[in-house]
Structure 1
Amino acid sequence: MSTWAQVPPPPKTRLDAWGWARALARLAVLGGVVYGGLAVFLVLRGAEMALASGRRALTPYLTQAVCKAALVVIGLPVQRQGTPMRHIGAVVANHASWLDIFVLNACQRVQFVAKAEVAGWAGIGWLARATGTLFIRRDPAEARAQQALLEERIRAGHHLLFFPEGTSTDGLRVLPFKSTLFAAFHAHGLDKVMQIQPVSVIYHAPPGADPRFYGWWADMGFADHMLKLLAAPRQGRVEVIFHAPLDVADFPNRKALARACEAAVRAPFPPIPEGY
């Protein structure tokens, strides 16, 4: 997995006995919520395949409910501003952490676009495949085929969500958006019918914690990061801001569209604290 590493992460947190107790207790409940939800999801998905011609009529609502419950277990409140669009199109957001998956799924019903290697991650890969994640490879030889898959999903009415930064960060900043995937939205007349909705995800650390508390980047291990979050006696909060959707037809090319989305996502971020 490629990661952003311009700024080194803080030292690993050493847990005391109470921290371990909190982390393991929350992990047990979280595992029950997520994998219990996955079991129900697979049953419902089978019914959709048999009775609804494969159309995801019910499972997106279950995914949203499970993610909301997971955030309650973690203790992380979400403050939502704006309204998820209903128009045909896609969603783009900044990427700070694996938590983004829970946060963004809790706020809207979407299907993610992820790097191909995510499919092989233990635990996470199973969940991603089950919930309809579209996996792509960063291979120029496959770019045209991947754009065709994006177009097919969008024309089918799916709201695909992807992270144009291409990597997770410390949560304090927005990296330049890569424009590659935006090319699919200017193909075969799709630009005439679809919109892109930029979304800002802004994490606020618990009182007294490092402002990068929720960021997951560089060589930070997934298990270590999860344990640190679950062990925290108090959590912070996360803001999710849905900006006005942009008409793809208003932009002459993918680069202009990517720049406009990046500007919208970056706008509400507070100044980066001195020293970070």
Structure 2
Amino acid sequence: MRRLRVTARLARLLAVLGLGIGMASAMAAAERLGLKPSLQRRQRWSRRFMRHLVAALPFQVEVIGTLPQRPMLWLSNHVSWTDIPLLGMLTPLSFLSKAEVRHWPLAGWLAEKAGTLFIRRGGGDAQRLRGQIAEQLRSAQPLLIFPEGTTTDGRELRTFHGRLLAGAIDSGTPVQPVAIEYRRGGEADRLAPFVGDDDLLSHLLRLFALPRGQVRIHLLEPIESHGMERAVLALQAQQAVYLALFGAAPSAVTPAPRAQAA
């Protein structure tokens, strides 16, 4: 039964990946013909692909809250690679990702064609990235950032870094805090987190071998960015996510000193 479950889920996933490759190939072909798809179209196609991908993953998904009716900078805690399709299926949006992802086999190519913005850690391109984020938000195209900068095991929340929030402040775009939690058997899911030296294939096979887990996505009250300091904005978003995940505001958390503008 276990082997049959894994085989059936893998077959469905491969079919979805085939769909994604076909969509990305169509975009690439259009680019070669000088008909580069707009970011809006890329986001819509990406959302369609993400919805099919989530349907192939072993999760029951519950969304709590209301989808924003205007473009925002989404800020979410980060637990697993599955966060991306789970959040990407909700609305057309782009992601900010570390530069290494661009070079991942297949996944990097799909991410690039979907309109992902890539950031080099310590690459000295903070000003350029700040401008890109602000420009995208001004053009009414939502963007999602994982401000912890890394994944956790889902039982903690790390500091939200405010450096990447300057683009929201520059463009006057509100912030949409999002809390994502994975549950299994009434407790925090210890299988869904993607941390440490785990590799994607092994993680996927373990997920597919077990019954469905539960995912709750909390869409929290938006935060206006106008006139805010980025450290304070990050702190308010972090506190909102912490409250949704753990039922109490974090103690002894203070905003970092305001950094000089990049």
1:235 match: 212
2:55 match: 72
Aligned pairs for 1:211-250 (under 5 A) are: 211-232=189-210, 234-250=211-227
Aligned pairs for 1:82-161 (under 5 A) are: 82-139=65-122, 141-161=124-144
Paired AA for residue 149 in structure 1: Q
Which segment is superposed worse, 253-262 or 122-131?
Answer: 122-131
Higher relative contact order structure (alpha carbons within 8 Å, sequence separation ≥ 6):
1
1:263 equivalenced with 2:239 (yes/no): yes
Instruction: Specify whether residues 242 and 46 from structure 1 end up closer, same or farther in structure 2 by C-alpha distance, changes over 3 A only.
Output: farther
Q: Deviations over 1:28-64 (max 9, x none)?
A: 2212112323313442676699798742444433322
1:164 match: 147
Measure the CA separation in 1 of the matches of 2:152 and 2:106: 22
Work out whether residues 201 and 240 of structure 1, in 8 Å CA contact, stay in contact via their aligned partners in 2.
Answer: yes
TM-score by length of 2: 0.85
Which segment is superposed worse, 60-69 or 108-117?
Answer: 60-69
TM-score by length of 1: 0.81
Find the residue that maps to 1:212 and give its secondary structure.
Answer: coil
Find the residue that maps to 1:183 and give its secondary structure.
Answer: helix
Paired AA for residue 119 in structure 1: R
Measure the CA separation in 1 of the matches of 2:153 and 2:200: 14
Find the residue that maps to 2:89 and give its secondary structure.
Answer: helix
1:185 match: 168
Any gaps of 5 or more consecutive residues in structure 2?
248-262
Find the residue that maps to 2:110 and give its secondary structure.
Answer: helix
Measure the CA separation in 2 of the matches of 1:244 and 1:48: 38
Instruction: Specify whether residues 241 and 30 from structure 1 end up closer, same or farther in structure 2 by C-alpha distance, changes over 3 A only.
Output: same
Quote how far apart the aligned CAs of 1:82 are: 1.5
RMSD of the alignment, in Å?
2.5
